[in-house]
Structure 1
Amino acid sequence: MHRYLYIIILSVLSIACKPTPIDQHLEEIPKENLLEALLKGNERFSGDHPLHPDQTLDRLRDLSVGQHPVAAIVSCSDSRVPPELVFDQGLGDLFVIRNAGNIVGDYEIGSLEYAIEHLEVPLVIILGHTKCGAIGAYVDHDHDHSHHYSEYIQKIIDFIDAEEEEKAIPRDAPDFYERAIEANVLHGIHELKLKVPSVNELIASKKLKVIGAIYDVETGKVRLVEDPN
């Protein structure tokens, strides 16, 4: 009797834990609706009911013949900010470029150019996040030069410093840290548009969308960043 009850409980649990299938894979969604689909994925993630789509061995085998990601994302290397989880997506869905501070430098631009021109992604997201350590190091260094970093971390700080100087954020602003995070995202967008001429043409012809976003590490929610330019 107990054995049959045990089997019934396992069967119920396996059904309850099985992810609900999504209506469409990302690559089947019209490109004008892709951002909305990713934001809905983030709603699932932040609402603690992700579907974990496209994470099977069958999906992996399908991808062995080639990749067709629908979005390229530059995000921070911070262990709390994995884009595939944040947007509740799976294998082959996102072309992700990560570094400390989600910096858009020459190497990152090269990777984005590959994603745009060769993989033909219709969407690029520069994704910053709250409580970013790289931006925090920049802020601390700006106010207190007693901090000593290795030459490699210092290069990151100097890169961010060059970016934020252009934004002329008042150093005594109470929300300077938050505004620096946002300005760093916007600078990444501007750098991409400046250094890859085809980007502006693709945007004008509605073949590409480039946006900025901030991920909140406390709530799990992503908000879009408006570009004043």
Structure 2
Amino acid sequence: MSEVRTPRDAWNAMKQGNARFVEGAPRHPRQNVDRRNELAHTQTPIAALFGCSDSRLAAEIIFDMGLGDLFVIRNAGQVISDSVIGSIEYAVAVLDVPLIIVLAHDECGAVRAAIDSTGIDAPTLPVHIWKHIAPIVPAVRRVMRSGAVTVPEAVDAEEVGREHLRDTVADLLHSSDLISEAVREGRLAIVGANYRLAQGAVVPAVAVGLPEES
């Protein structure tokens, strides 16, 4: 996608691909033998995408992209870690991507697990699962306080997901001087968005460093 050069170009290309997917008219571009051969020794993705591992969140499909278009990092609940930051820094510093997308979604199991873990009688989770979802719990607590909610069953999971998405974007900027500097210089933008499972639509919720369309 040689026409993609700026953060705005990259986001527009992603929006257009998602629109095709929502309409049920994907083009499945750049997925042939010639493209495969072209990429054998190099890659120039237009964006790095950090999203949830949920099986319904296949990035290249929902954005109607092809081989070599996206540099994808995923884990359950899109939780920031050193390995995630290092992978995204590689995409920015070495692959020169102009855009990072942080992609959350509705009906997220990791968000649900974080909510349920706050219950008084919540069962003990396996240690690695607990360590993984623990960074989502502050978002749960804030939503509970703002709504004067005292039991997990009454917590709005969608609001927790939105809070956690904002936290993730903020943590990414705070944790990486390389990424925050690229944003300040206008070489990089970050878009935090929610994917709607039933509709197939990607809905932006927060954007950093993304200039307005001219």
Band the TM-score falls in, shorter-chain normalisation: 0.7 to 0.9
Q: Which amino acid aligns with 1:184?
A: H
Greater CA drift, 34-43 or 170-179: 170-179
Among 43, 57, 76, the alignment partner of 1:67 is 43
SS state at 1:27 partner: coil
User: 1:208 corresponds to which residue?
Assistant: 188
Structure number with greater Rg is: 1
Among 25, 49, 52, the alignment partner of 1:76 is 52
Counterpart-to-counterpart distance in 2, 1:168 and 1:59: 49
What percentage of residue pairs aligned between the two structures are identical? 34
Higher RCO (CA-CA < 8 Å; seq separation 6+): 2
1:82 Cα shift?
Answer: 0.5
Q: Does 1:120 align with 2:57?
A: no
SS state at 1:143 partner: coil
1:208 Cα shift?
Answer: 0.4
Q: Does 1:131 align with 2:111?
A: no
Structure 2 spans left out of the alignment, 5+ residues:
209-214
Task: Decide whether aligned partners of structure 1 residues 206 and 92 sit closer, same or farther in structure 2, where only a CA change above 3 A counts.
Answer: same
TM-score of the two chains, using structure 1 as the length reference: 0.81
SS state at 2:146 partner: coil
SS state at 1:43 partner: helix
SS state at 1:218 partner: coil
User: 1:189 corresponds to which residue?
Assistant: 169
Counterpart-to-counterpart distance in 2, 1:159 and 1:204: 26
What pairs with 1:88-167 in structure 2 (closer than 5 Å)? 88-143=64-119, 145-162=121-138, 164-165=140-141
- The answer (yes or no) to whether the contact 2:194–2:203 under 8 Å persists in 1 is yes
User: How much is the aligned-residue C-alpha RMSD, in angstroms?
Assistant: 2.1
- The answer (yes or no) to whether the contact 1:51–1:88 under 8 Å persists in 2 is yes
1:179 Cα shift?
Answer: 1.3
- The answer (yes or no) to whether the contact 2:89–2:178 under 8 Å persists in 1 is no
1:175 Cα shift?
Answer: 6.3
User: 1:6 corresponds to which residue?
Assistant: none
Please state which structure has a larger fraction of its residues in helix.
1
1:206 Cα shift?
Answer: 1.3
Counterpart-to-counterpart distance in 1, 2:94 and 2:145: 37
Counterpart-to-counterpart distance in 1, 2:92 and 2:142: 27
